[in-house]
Chains A and B, each alone.
Chain A
Amino acid sequence: MATLLRLATAGSVDDGKSTLVGRLLYDSKSVLADQMEAVERVSTDRGLGTADLALLTDGLRSEREQGITIDVAYRYFATPKRSFILADCPGHVQYTRNTVTGASTADCVVLLVDVRHGLQEQTQRHLAVASLLRVPHVVVVVNKIDLVDFDEETYERVSAAVLESARSLGLYDVATIPVSALEGDNVVERSSRTPWYDGQSLLEHLEKLSPIGEPHSEPLRFPVQLVIRPQQAAGDEFRDYRGYAGQVASGLVRVGDPITVQPSGRTSTVVGIDTADGPLDAAFAPQSVTLRLADDIDISRGDLIVTSRSVPPVTQDIDGTIAWLAERPLVPGAKVLLKHGTKTVQAMVKAISGKLDLDDARLLPAESLALNDIGHVNLRLASPIPAEEYLHSRSTGAFLLIDPQEGSTLAAGMVGDALLDTKAAVEAVAEATVLA
């Protein structure tokens, strides 16, 4: 069965990220002849002896003119075993917001490190983002191994430093691979020039990673998108039809299951799981389905249907970790909109309780948060929502902050104070790993 894995790249500017992505596409035979001809033509025009694979990912006119990457680009490639969606994120320090964008949906972050420079501030920053966003897997590509003559000791030193930093941030599933993206060593094929390395190539590793957790092991969370009520439009058969459409955010739902609707707390039983292709006995994340319930209770968009066996409490006060993505700084007292699942509510920033020092993952006191800062805030909401700790639920623990006037997205938010105390976060993740 062909499965899909979502990747996000990260790394500093000159670590060879574009070259790696180009190499991955090229060596996995995902580049077509006309694309390659264009790359060869531009390379020749620039007086290069060989085709510059980095040009495969240089999309926009201004990117090519300025030699910088402006925004996340999405690439698609496939092997007989698996299809990949790769969010290719810019490496500049000031573009942490793009790394957050790419990592929020990623099953795996591919983080590049230049073997000559080892662990950099930017490496730690990206590891912190991967940890914060609970990306299940991280692969560290220790690149440019050809420039240190494929030296095992150098690789081991860099690898050990990265793994130690990752562990201190609560990241456990981290692999390191010695790679030359420029020459193709250990990208798709294992290299004979690193005989001391007995692990897999990058692509082999990516093919074998398990996709995001076991969705059925989490409790059911189903944010209601729409109430489907065709009335006379669909004919007599559906005159009294009333279904709740949405995408299962986590867990599993079966016909006959007892459910609770939050924030109202009303309860009922699932009597039907409908799709246009016919009814189902069970549905699981991330399927889009329509639920029918035994009782005619008041449910609308923004409500969360959950299993009655595990009901998240509702609250009007949220402690959250946010990545601030807007140009203008966030100050206490700001009024914003908060989008959680399918619900959008007004919110006020009561306090900023700290700003994350990405170098050692500690919270420092802060009066405001600037672009790309990651900090901790206390929010008061105009109406209650069933928010859960992001540490335990990547779906119902996430929220956006939105500018009420312009409508722009201001912040990526995660419920909880996981990063207030790194040690607690590490222990919690370790515990979660043991439980899983």
Chain B
Amino acid sequence: MTLNDYRLTQLQWLESEAIHIIREVIAEFERPVLLFSGGKDSIVMLHLAVKAFWPSPVPFPVLHVDTGHNFPEVLAYRDATVERLGLRLEVSSVQDYIDDGRLRERSDGMRNTLQTQPLLDGITEGKFDAVFGGGRRDEEKARAKERVFSLRDEFGQWDPRNQRPELWNLYNGRHTPGQHVRVFPLSNWTELDVWQYIGQEGIALPELYYAHQREVYERDGMLLAVGPVSMPRDGETVEKRQVRYRTVGDMSCTGAVESDALTVDDVIAEVAATRITERGATRADDRTSEAAMEDRKKEGYF
């Protein structure tokens, strides 16, 4: 064996670290849950969880905070995955909160900020003490400050001034009743790492991550899909374009990018060459202010 045989590639290193983190949570917490949206990061996280416990099944349920504005392809993917892996699916539905008056629809129709309450209630009702999230530190400047194990109080709040030091790979998950810990196994991954890993592992994704024809209209520099919850306003023209999605969230505020990337390799090449960040390109909710993500995190969002 040569020296290189004893070194891990970047993706092997990241995988190994994530599996270590996921196993630590199962060992030290009573009731973990994995936040699963059907987006690529949560799909990769679930793939890693399957690997971490093989040949045992994944020992925790998944929780989906459903904004009611989902892409149908993503919901279909979610249900098929849960079925295939024999997981229990919990759903916290924003629509339920709007229907019974606990939440009010915003004037702009965006629902991402409305997710916080259903998320926190879902955590409380499920008595979950550890919640896996697919957040990565390269996504956004507030996330760059996040620990792998992020302690939250009974309001789910993140206090960037009062984070636990995180030393070596000795994670401290201790918490008092009412508190819970958000855990981010993909903290050290970048968007490119995620795509390279998807390619390496042959992980199937919802089709909208790859280039396809779709009816879209332009608003605030973003291409929004025409759908029941995202209709063009006066003066906005609908065109059929070849697009794909870099993130899949709420349909009413997640934009598509023009793309010819039909395969994983095409996407990897595109991501490697892009000059725009993932969120800068496609998330209207992160554009509302300089600190939009930070403010939502402090309130208890991921």
B9 lies within 8 A of chain A by Cβ: yes
Tell whether, in the assembled complex, residue B10 and residue A2 are in contact, meaning their CB atoms are under 8 Å apart: yes
Stretch at the interface among A12-20, A66-74, A420-428: A66-74
B138 lies within 8 A of chain A by Cβ: yes
Bound together, the chains give a CA A275 to CA B201 distance in angstroms of 14
In the complex, which residues 154-188 of chain B have their Cβ closer than 8 Å to any Cβ of chain A? 160-161, 163-170, 172, 174-176, 187-188
B228 lies within 8 A of chain A by Cβ: no
Q: How many Å from the CB of B65 to the closest CB on chain A?
A: 25
Stretch at the interface among A120-128, A165-173, A281-289, A355-363: A281-289
Tell whether, in the assembled complex, residue A83 and residue B10 are in contact, meaning their CB atoms are under 8 Å apart: yes
B145 lies within 8 A of chain A by Cβ: yes
Interface residue tally for chain A (C-beta within 8 Å): 77
Q: Which residue of chain A has the shortest Cβ distance to B188 in the bound complex? A: A85
Tell whether, in the assembled complex, residue B16 and residue A225 are in contact, meaning their CB atoms are under 8 Å apart: no
With a CB–CB cut-off of 8 A, which chain A residues contact B68?
Answer: none
Q: Which of A1, A100, A395 contacts B165 (CB 8 A)?
A: A100
A245 lies within 8 A of chain B by Cβ: yes
Tell whether, in the assembled complex, residue B275 and residue A74 are in contact, meaning their CB atoms are under 8 Å apart: no
Bound together, the chains give a CA A1 to CA B26 distance in angstroms of 32
A98 lies within 8 A of chain B by Cβ: yes
Tell whether, in the assembled complex, residue B55 and residue A230 are in contact, meaning their CB atoms are under 8 Å apart: yes
Q: Which of B3, B17, B27, B161 contacts A71 (CB 8 A)?
A: B161
Tell whether, in the assembled complex, residue A32 and residue B280 are in contact, meaning their CB atoms are under 8 Å apart: yes
With a CB–CB cut-off of 8 A, which chain B residues contact A342?
Answer: 24, 27
Tell whether, in the assembled complex, residue B276 and residue A398 are in contact, meaning their CB atoms are under 8 Å apart: no
Tell whether, in the assembled complex, residue B187 and residue A74 are in contact, meaning their CB atoms are under 8 Å apart: yes
Tell whether, in the assembled complex, residue A33 and residue B276 are in contact, meaning their CB atoms are under 8 Å apart: yes
With a CB–CB cut-off of 8 A, which chain A residues contact B161?
Answer: 62, 70-71
Interface residue tally for chain B (C-beta within 8 Å): 61
Q: How many Å from the CB of B24 to the closest CB on chain A?
A: 6
Tell whether, in the assembled complex, residue B165 and residue A98 are in contact, meaning their CB atoms are under 8 Å apart: yes
A104 lies within 8 A of chain B by Cβ: yes
A408 lies within 8 A of chain B by Cβ: yes
Tell whether, in the assembled complex, residue A247 and residue B6 are in contact, meaning their CB atoms are under 8 Å apart: no
Tell whether, in the assembled complex, residue B275 and residue A32 are in contact, meaning their CB atoms are under 8 Å apart: yes
A332 lies within 8 A of chain B by Cβ: no
Stretch at the interface among A181-189, A191-199, A210-218, A305-313: A210-218
Tell whether, in the assembled complex, residue A408 and residue B6 are in contact, meaning their CB atoms are under 8 Å apart: no
Contacts known (A286-B17, A399-B170); A71 close to B160, Cβ less than 8 A: yes
Contacts known (A35-B277, A72-B145, A74-B137); A2 close to B165, Cβ less than 8 A: no
With a CB–CB cut-off of 8 A, which chain B residues contact A78?
Answer: 190, 192
Tell whether, in the assembled complex, residue A409 and residue B4 are in contact, meaning their CB atoms are under 8 Å apart: no
With a CB–CB cut-off of 8 A, which chain B residues contact A408?
Answer: 164, 172, 174
In the complex, which residues 216-235 of chain A have their Cβ closer than 8 Å to any Cβ of chain B? 216, 225-226, 228-230, 233-234
Contacts known (A35-B277, A74-B188, A230-B56); A60 close to B291, Cβ less than 8 A: yes
Q: How many Å from the CB of A317 to the closest CB on chain B?
A: 21
Bound together, the chains give a CA A290 to CA B281 distance in angstroms of 41
In the complex, which residues 23-68 of chain A have their Cβ closer than 8 Å to any Cβ of chain B? 32-35, 38, 42, 58-62, 64
Q: Which residue of chain A has the shortest Cβ distance to B189 in the bound complex? A: A76
B23 lies within 8 A of chain A by Cβ: yes
Q: Can you list 27 A-B pairs, Cβ within 8 angstroms, ordered by A? A: A1-B7, A32-B280, A58-B141, A60-B141, A98-B165, A104-B168, A226-B23, A230-B55, A233-B57, A234-B56, A275-B51, A276-B51, A276-B54, A284-B6, A287-B12, A288-B15, A288-B52, A339-B172, A342-B27, A400-B170, A406-B174, A406-B176, A407-B175, A407-B176, A408-B174, A409-B164, A412-B167
In the complex, the 6 A-B pairs of residues with the closest C-beta atoms, listed nearest first: A407-B174, A34-B280, A276-B54, A59-B141, A276-B51, A288-B19
Q: Which residues of A contact B (CB under 8 A)?
A: 1-4, 32-35, 38, 42, 58-62, 64, 70-76, 78, 83, 85, 97-98, 100-101, 104-105, 211, 214-216, 225-226, 228-230, 233-234, 237-238, 241, 245-247, 252, 274-277, 284, 286-288, 290, 301, 325, 337, 339-342, 394-395, 398-400, 402, 406-409, 412
Given A35-B280, A101-B166, A226-B26, 8 further pairs, Cβ under 8 A:
A60-B291, A75-B144, A105-B168, A228-B54, A287-B16, A342-B24, A342-B27, A398-B170
